[in-house]
A and B are shown apart, each in its own frame.
Chain A
Amino acid sequence: QKEVEQNSGPLSVPEGAIASLNCTYSDRGSQSFFWYRQYSGKSPELIMSIYSNGDKEDGRFTAQLNKASQYVSLLIRDSQPSDSATYLCAVSSGSARQLTFGSGTQLTVLP
């Protein structure tokens, strides 16, 4: 059973702070790792993808991958109220490369 675990939250941070979201996965054969953002009542929206160990930065977002520890994280710098959403960690593996999702972390950025 492939599992993806996220810190349960909810997580609240003040505006301008750094939000840190964490995720672990069980399948060592996993190949690709994604962070999706989901606003209430909307579908998941891709924020970041990462494929190799290390950091990947895109604007205010940084994804970190450590395959040895089976750990993925997302840092959001200078958090804004518009970042308030549920963040889903997703891991792709197998021949179909279907995504296995974590249960999500609900982030609230307080003005």
Chain B
Amino acid sequence: GAGVSQSPSNKVTEKGKDVELRCDPISGHTALYWYRQSLGQGLEFLIYFQGNSAPDKSGLPSDRFSAERTGGSVSTLTIQRTQQEDSAVYLCASSLNGPGSTDTQYFGPGTRLTVL
């Protein structure tokens, strides 16, 4: 079946602009995660959605970052007033996380964000 999809695959923007990154999880997966991978910081957790519950935003680096998940499926990560340090690959992952299931996370191909 289809894996996690993300769009766009690449995004180049100017400092100060807003960007939206999209993630479409594996069908039936209730948990959705956003991570960021940058050269200096490795792979770090940003935000977690479980079904229709309130998200765990504990990994968001600043209030310029926000995310939503509509209808328990597709998620959008928004970065406002982008800064050069926001340049990274943004990865989305999903897992089944239902009762009796494992918490294995499967990653999408990522969106490479470059802030000029």
Residues on A facing B (Cβ under 8 Å): 31-32, 34, 36, 42-46, 49, 51, 88, 92, 95-104
Report whether B104 and A46 are in contact in the complex, using a CB–CB cutoff of 8 Å: yes
Report whether B31 and A97 are in contact in the complex, using a CB–CB cutoff of 8 Å: yes
Residues on B facing A (Cβ under 8 Å): 31, 33, 35, 42-45, 48, 50, 56, 58-59, 89, 91, 93, 95, 97, 102-110
Nearest to A92 among chain B residues (CB) is B103
Cβ–Cβ < 8 Å partners of A44 in chain B? 43, 91, 107
Report whether A45 and B107 are in contact in the complex, using a CB–CB cutoff of 8 Å: yes
Determine the main DSSP class of B at the interface with A: strand
User: How far is B42's CA from A36's CA once the two chains are assembled, in angstroms?
Assistant: 14
User: How far is B59's CA from A97's CA once the two chains are assembled, in angstroms?
Assistant: 13
- Knowing A44-B91, A97-B31, the reply to whether A49 touches B110 (Cβ < 8 A) is no
User: How far is B89's CA from A44's CA once the two chains are assembled, in angstroms?
Assistant: 12
Q: Give 10 nearest A-B pairs by CB, closest first.
A: A101-B43, A96-B48, A98-B45, A96-B56, A43-B107, A97-B103, A43-B110, A103-B42, A44-B107, A43-B109
Nearest to A49 among chain B residues (CB) is B104
User: How far is B114's CA from A58's CA once the two chains are assembled, in angstroms?
Assistant: 38
A11 CB to nearest B CB, Å: 17
Report whether B102 and A98 are in contact in the complex, using a CB–CB cutoff of 8 Å: no
Other 19 A-B pairs with CB < 8 A, given A46-B106, A92-B105, A96-B50 = A32-B103, A34-B105, A43-B108, A43-B109, A44-B107, A49-B102, A88-B43, A95-B56, A97-B31, A97-B48, A97-B95, A97-B97, A97-B103, A98-B33, A99-B45, A99-B93, A99-B105, A101-B42, A101-B44
User: How far is B89's CA from A34's CA once the two chains are assembled, in angstroms?
Assistant: 21
26 A-B residue pairs with Cβ-Cβ distance under 8 Å, sorted by A, are A32-B102, A32-B103, A32-B104, A34-B104, A43-B91, A43-B107, A44-B43, A44-B91, A45-B107, A46-B104, A46-B106, A49-B104, A51-B102, A95-B56, A96-B48, A96-B56, A97-B95, A97-B103, A98-B45, A98-B48, A99-B35, A99-B105, A100-B45, A101-B44, A103-B42, A104-B42
